[in-house]
Chain A
Amino acid sequence: MKTENQRAWWLVAPVVLLVAFNALVPLMTVVNYSVQETFGNNQFFWHGVGWFQDVLNSERFHAALGRQLLFTAIILVIEIPLGVAIALCMPKKGFWASVCLVLMALPLLIPWNVVGAMWNIFALPDIGLLGYALNAAGFDYDYTQQPLSAWFTVILMDVWHWTSLVVLLAYAGLVAIPDAYYQAAKIDGASAWKVFRHIQLPKMNRVLTIAILLRFMDSFMIYTEPFVLTGGGPGNATTFLSIDLVKIALGQFDLGPAAAMSLIYFVITLAVSWLFFTLMTRNEAK
């Protein structure tokens, strides 16, 4: 079928220009850096795919990638069901609905570095409320010394900060379901589980796709909060990919390996995001 009028595409031109300058040009520069060695003062020497080979065979990269994947998997497994559960429990109309929505939006308004600083103090074992309470309850907890405690704190912090986003998206999906569906389910005598499984969950499909994609991409690229909280430690226990990348690029000023690593990181993020999106929208297309 021939499309008659394509002029509306010009409306997209401003966005294309914006993306070209804030994404494409930097990306091209990163690609250029990834195949060269630089000694400062804009002196570059061809290095081919050597940096890529180094990064792909580096144990440091494998370890950071492993930590990153584990962190993202844990975050998604906790935040998505928890967010949906909270959204289901929230009142759908009236005064308390507004109160809940404002409360849920609060963590999202706090800047990332402030969240890290807050949790840094909150979780300190000697003066922080969380750290002190856990130790008083008999747990051996010190996120500055123990990797397990550091992981627990970073995950708890992320769940506190970002579950609200899933809640708000799921809530938006839930309130958009017409009452007729619930009335039909009531007439059929459907249980609460069946209403959830066959009405609410399918109707939330789109918003949950967005929620999973946003949470995947955000958690996979997380930097500020764990950096402020633990600085990547103790040791390298919470050194995720982005923290390691910044260490290589700015700490060691190895721009070539950092560029190669960021491109590998980018391709993985792109592939997983595409996979999630495709799998979750495939059922819809059928």
Chain B
Amino acid sequence: MMDLSWMAWTWQTGAFFAVIFLSIAFMGVRERFKPGGHPRRGVLGLDTTRGDRLFITYLGSAFIVLGWLGIMGTPLWGALILALLWGGFVFWKV
């Protein structure tokens, strides 16, 4: 077994990356069985594919969490709810 102790893994960071990789894999599987990833024009006037919308969701969520942490501090449940709402909005309207 390869020694990965230098990477200093924790279950929390492992779960974080697992969610990201699984969501990307899910997008791939979804596209395979239910194609429809061609760009569409959303409320922001941008032509986005499903992949673009996932990227915008994550990027926006990063700023929501950082903003919450800088202004409100911990806990981050509020930021998580806002990020989920943001993701829903992006996939629905952007």
User: Which A positions have Cβ atoms within 8 angstroms of B?
Assistant: 1-3, 25, 28-29, 31-33, 35-36, 38, 42, 44, 46, 48-49, 52-53, 56-57, 264, 267, 270-271, 274, 278, 282, 285
Contacts and interface: CB of A to CB of B under 8 A. Distances in A.
Most buried by B among A25, A31, A53: A31
B38 A274 contact: no
Nearest to B9: A32
A267 B63 contact: yes
B64 to A, nearest CB: 11
Contacts of B55: 274
Given A1-B38, A32-B13, A267-B63, A44 B8 contact: yes
Contacts of A33: 8
B19 interface: no
Contacts of B66: 52, 56, 264, 267
Specify which of B6, B8, B10, B55 lies most central, judged by the most chain A CB atoms within 10 Å of its CB.
B8
B51 interface: no
Closest 5 CB pairs of A and B: A56-B70, A32-B8, A29-B7, A44-B8, A267-B62
Given A52-B69, A53-B74, A274-B59, A282 B13 contact: no
B77 interface: no
Contact of B7 (A2, A25, A274, A278): A25
Contacts of A38: 8
A56 B35 CA distance: 41
A32 B7 contact: yes
Given A1-B35, A2-B35, A267-B59, A278 B46 contact: yes
B63 to A, nearest CB: 7
A49 B10 CA distance: 13
Contacts of B81: none
Q: Is the interface of A mostly helix, strand, loop or mixed?
A: helix
A48 B55 CA distance: 24
B8 A282 contact: no
A61 B52 CA distance: 30
B92 interface: no
Given A2-B35, A36-B10, 13 more contacts: A1-B38, A25-B7, A31-B13, A31-B17, A32-B10, A35-B13, A38-B8, A49-B74, A49-B76, A57-B70, A264-B66, A267-B63, A270-B59
Contacts of A278: 46
A3 B34 CA distance: 11
A44 B47 CA distance: 44
Contacts of B8: 29, 32-33, 36, 38, 42, 44
A230 to B, nearest CB: 29
Contact of A282 (B16, B46, B63, B69): B46
Contacts of A2: 35
Nearest to B36: A1
**Which residue of A32, A52, A53 has the most chain B CB atoms within 10 A of its CB atom?**
A32
Interface in B46-84: 46-47, 55, 59, 62-63, 66, 69-70, 73-74, 76
